[in-house]
Chains A and B, each alone.
Chain A
Amino acid sequence: MSATFDDSDESKPYATDPEWADVIPVQQYEGVEPIAPIFYTEEYKDATDYFRGVVKTGEMSPRVLKLTEEIIHMNPAHYSAWQYRYRTLLALNSSLEAELELMDSFAIQFLKTYQVWHHRRLLLTALRSVDAAARELAFVARALRTDAKNYHTWSYRQWILAHFNDEDRLWPGELPWVEELLEEDVRNNSAWHHRFFVVWQSGVRRGEVDREDVLRRELAFTKEKISLAPNNPSAWNYLRGVLDHTHTPYASLTSFVQPYTVAAAPGPTDDSVVDLENPRPSAGAELPCVPALEFLADIYEAEGGEATPKAVQIWKSLADERDTIRKKYWEHRIKDALHGSQ
């Protein structure tokens, strides 16, 4: 018996279905008057009455798979139905790969429901198969086409990679794939976060043993993305993350940052003198940009002494003019720096 989301015979209530005649339905207990009761449809009441009946006797059979499928279709957050379905699949020795496939369209329809993803995680854990994990990575990539920033979907991908940690089959595709996503939308913070996870947070990838080299590559990549969209906080946060993680002083990027902190890009801009190390803001960029000013002020603050007033001056301009929603934050930075240097 194969379970599908085919609605053809769903209209028949369980209560009149001869196939279910041997099951005693169990109604939901309502002792005292409930708070915020849900006004259930007849169809839902009927199905869940039979579900409670099945749970009571402990039946785990193919028809239970059909029943739980119908319930989670009506209420994807019904975690007891998911739990029972999962244990039934195991008890029946059902193909878990087939279950994953069955759930594909369902997952896309209910992307925002936690249970959908938790179920997949359980299936994949039980399967212990790198093949299945590789298939899941492809599925996640498809799901992200529907919603590129869905938190559950990203969380699931990071879990798969960390859980199976397979250098041959799973990791190699990650960096090119993230690059594609950032190509499409350079402001996708989830993609930037994933890049950090892949490069810095999950061990050392094959061919990336030379960390100095990796650092150079990441800095070049990020600078280039910043030059395309200088006001993109995701790229600047990544840059800061990389520098913090590798204990690299922010001051090493002073000459890169400077052109982004002034109104118009100074100096020659023709291609013959392009500095590959320090790509300049793209034409038409809104300058000076707040994240660059903030970065430069951080460099001055770290330098201290004579440089502190320069940091204060930048923070003042952010507080009073360029980033007034964070006025109190910039004033707090001024107070902190002056207090600290006393």
Chain B
Amino acid sequence: MSSFPRLARTGHTSHCKICLSGLPFSQVEVDSSRIALILYCFGTLDLLGTLSTKTSETDRQKWRDWLWEQQTSGKHGTGFKPSAYMTPQGGNDEYGDYDAPHLIMTYAALLSLAILRDDCSKLNRTGIVQLIRACQHEDGSFSALPDGGEADLRSVYCAFALSSMLDDWSGIDIDRAVAYIQRCSSYEGGYGQIPYNEALGGTTYCALAALHLAPGTTLSSPETRITPAERARTIRWLTQNQTSCGGFCGRTGKLADACYCFWCGASLSILGAGELVDSTALALWMAQCQYKFGGIAKAPSERPDPYHTYLSLAALALHPPSEGASSWELFPFNMFWNTTEETAQWVRDHVPAHKA
């Protein structure tokens, strides 16, 4: 169909390459979660297949080196720091209280390294398991930092994803964590960020992916953690979030936002209902979110950023439009780890201790 818009692949690659080369001071807030932004840039190139064609091996080696510099060990185990923003000149042998590793950044760093096809020989696996253990609380939740701080479903998801990548669940009390996730479930069908919170697309993805990733225990199995009635209610709420413009909103009654096309769409896929997304309407709306100089914004006529660019492409990879030319074709996607299937395979082959 000639009237179907195109996915501006070249523009999206260059948007992410520009961000990788540096950010203006107005973006200083990114510093304390910089590896996440880096993952969105790498993930975009991975989905578009431009990492090997549009970046040099010299660059990729420098990137690997920098990522490994963020791996840090100390009294709570090993993980990655968001960036060097608190690392004192000269570096340090062990982290202190104020430059400790961060669970979400550790997840992002590991996926980034896998996208760069690093052999992960420098990965301190037992240290990461120790960090995961240090981040779990009495109530089953996880905080992003080992001595407290934000505890919510995002950290829970990262702990589960890391454990499944390492193929080592000894750092998690699964039953306690599953109970915490279930306490975050809301009457609408989605999950809130912490217990009693409003249903939200992003944390619903975290909850569902975690419930499916964890192996069975004597108390629960991936199949029994969600009852058929709960599943039906969640599917209803998720599909209700696709608004008439084609994009998804993250909460009932809010405006569509590109990132929720992934969080809600992938949640439906995890529940085995991915085909319920109107993928053509989704792609047509995404096309309008494309910025004229590259990148994808949260909504039409907004400014783009790597987060919305990457998640939009990930949504399109999971829910490709039935019409439209080859410009919309992306690599097969792993919805549980939120990465391409090829990168997921690299993780399986290089991250678990028994593969080292």
Interface string of A190-234 (1 = CB under 8 A from B): 100110110011100000000000000000000000000000111
Interface string of B50-75 (1 = CB under 8 A from A): 00000000000011011101000000
Q: Are A27 and B20 in touch, CB under 8 angstroms?
A: no
Q: Are B276 and A74 in touch, CB under 8 angstroms?
A: no
Answer whether residue A118 sits at the interface, using C-beta atoms and an 8 A cutoff. yes
Q: Are B244 and A36 in touch, CB under 8 angstroms?
A: no
Bound-state Cα–Cα, A84 to B97, Å = 9
Given contacts A38-B23, A52-B88, A155-B197, 17 further A-B contacts (CB under 8 A): A26-B88, A35-B62, A38-B22, A38-B34, A55-B86, A77-B29, A77-B32, A78-B32, A80-B86, A162-B196, A193-B199, A232-B253, A234-B252, A245-B187, A325-B246, A328-B278, A329-B235
Bound-state Cα–Cα, A232 to B20, Å = 43
Q: Are A38 and B27 in touch, CB under 8 angstroms?
A: yes
30 A/B residue pairs, CB under 8 Å, sorted by A: A28-B84, A31-B84, A34-B83, A36-B19, A36-B22, A36-B23, A38-B23, A38-B25, A38-B31, A55-B86, A77-B28, A77-B30, A78-B85, A80-B99, A118-B150, A151-B200, A159-B194, A193-B198, A201-B196, A237-B188, A237-B237, A240-B187, A242-B187, A244-B187, A326-B239, A326-B242, A328-B277, A329-B235, A329-B239, A332-B276
B26 vs chain A, min Cβ distance (A): 9
- B residues 217-268 near A (Cβ < 8 Å) are 233, 235-237, 239-240, 242-244, 246, 251-254
Q: Are B25 and A30 in touch, CB under 8 angstroms?
A: no
Bound-state Cα–Cα, A210 to B224, Å = 34
Q: Are B277 and A35 in touch, CB under 8 angstroms?
A: no
- The interface-forming segment of A11-19, A40-48, A134-142 is A40-48
Q: Are B91 and A29 in touch, CB under 8 angstroms?
A: yes
Answer whether residue B332 sits at the interface, using C-beta atoms and an 8 A cutoff. no
- Which residues of chain B have C-beta atoms less than 8 A from A84's C-beta? 98
Interface string of B77-107 (1 = CB under 8 A from A): 0000001111111110000111100000000
Partner of A77, one of B19, B31, B186: B31
B203 vs chain A, min Cβ distance (A): 10
Bound-state Cα–Cα, A32 to B244, Å = 48
Bound-state Cα–Cα, A32 to B192, Å = 40
B121 vs chain A, min Cβ distance (A): 18
Q: Are B37 and A36 in touch, CB under 8 angstroms?
A: yes
Q: Are A38 and B196 in touch, CB under 8 angstroms?
A: no
Bound-state Cα–Cα, A44 to B29, Å = 12
- Which residues of chain B have C-beta atoms less than 8 A from A30's C-beta? 84
Q: Are B253 and A326 in touch, CB under 8 angstroms?
A: no
Closest to A323 in B: B244
Q: Are A36 and B276 in touch, CB under 8 angstroms?
A: no
Closest to B28 in A: A75
Q: Are A76 and B29 in touch, CB under 8 angstroms?
A: yes
- A residues 127-184 near B (Cβ < 8 Å) are 149, 151, 154-155, 158-159, 162
Tell me the total A-B contact number using a CB cutoff of 8 A.
Answer: 186
Closest to A245 in B: B187
Q: Are A28 and B87 in touch, CB under 8 angstroms?
A: yes
Answer whether residue A62 sits at the interface, using C-beta atoms and an 8 A cutoff. no
Closest to A25 in B: B89
Partner of B240, one of A188, A194, A233: A233
Answer whether residue A83 sits at the interface, using C-beta atoms and an 8 A cutoff. yes
- Which residues of chain B have C-beta atoms less than 8 A from A79's C-beta? 32, 145, 149
A204 vs chain B, min Cβ distance (A): 16
Q: Are A327 and B193 in touch, CB under 8 angstroms?
A: no
Q: Are A74 and B28 in touch, CB under 8 angstroms?
A: yes
Interface string of A66-90 (1 = CB under 8 A from B): 0000000011111110011000000
A259 vs chain B, min Cβ distance (A): 23
Q: Are A189 and B198 in touch, CB under 8 angstroms?
A: yes
Residues of B within 8 A of A (CB): 19-25, 27-34, 37-38, 41, 62-63, 65-67, 69, 83-91, 96-99, 145, 149-150, 186-188, 192-200, 233, 235-237, 239-240, 242-244, 246, 251-254, 273, 275-278, 281
- Which residues of chain A have C-beta atoms less than 8 A from B198's C-beta? 151, 154, 189-190, 193-194
- Which residues of chain A have C-beta atoms less than 8 A from B22's C-beta? 36-39
Bound-state Cα–Cα, A77 to B187, Å = 32
User: With A84-B98, A118-B150 known to touch, is A40 a contact of B25 (CB < 8 Å)?
Assistant: yes
User: With A38-B25, A75-B31, A244-B187 known to touch, is A151 a contact of B193 (CB < 8 Å)?
Assistant: yes
Q: Are A39 and B253 in touch, CB under 8 angstroms?
A: no
Bound-state Cα–Cα, A326 to B246, Å = 10
- Which residues of chain A have C-beta atoms less than 8 A from B27's C-beta? 38
- Which residues of chain A have C-beta atoms less than 8 A from B89's C-beta? 26-29
A137 vs chain B, min Cβ distance (A): 15
- Which residues of chain B have C-beta atoms less than 8 A from A41's C-beta? 25
Bound-state Cα–Cα, A237 to B242, Å = 16
- Which residues of chain B have C-beta atoms less than 8 A from A40's C-beta? 25, 28
A237 vs chain B, min Cβ distance (A): 5
Bound-state Cα–Cα, A30 to B258, Å = 34
Bound-state Cα–Cα, A37 to B150, Å = 25
Bound-state Cα–Cα, A186 to B141, Å = 34
Answer whether residue A33 sits at the interface, using C-beta atoms and an 8 A cutoff. yes
Partner of A237, one of B30, B33, B98, B187: B187
- Which residues of chain A have C-beta atoms less than 8 A from B91's C-beta? 29, 31
- Which residues of chain A have C-beta atoms less than 8 A from B192's C-beta? 155
B90 vs chain A, min Cβ distance (A): 6
The residue in B29, B30, B37, B187 that gathers the most chain A C-beta atoms within 10 A of its C-beta is B187
User: With A29-B91, A39-B24, A40-B28 known to touch, is A326 a contact of B196 (CB < 8 Å)?
Assistant: no
Q: Are B38 and A55 in touch, CB under 8 angstroms?
A: no
Bound-state Cα–Cα, A329 to B24, Å = 44
Closest to B246 in A: A325
The residue in B23, B188, B236, B246 that gathers the most chain A C-beta atoms within 10 A of its C-beta is B188
- Which residues of chain B have C-beta atoms less than 8 A from A34's C-beta? 66, 83-84
- Which residues of chain B have C-beta atoms less than 8 A from A201's C-beta? 187, 196
Q: Are A39 and B25 in touch, CB under 8 angstroms?
A: yes
The residue in A28, A118, A245 that gathers the most chain B C-beta atoms within 10 A of its C-beta is A28
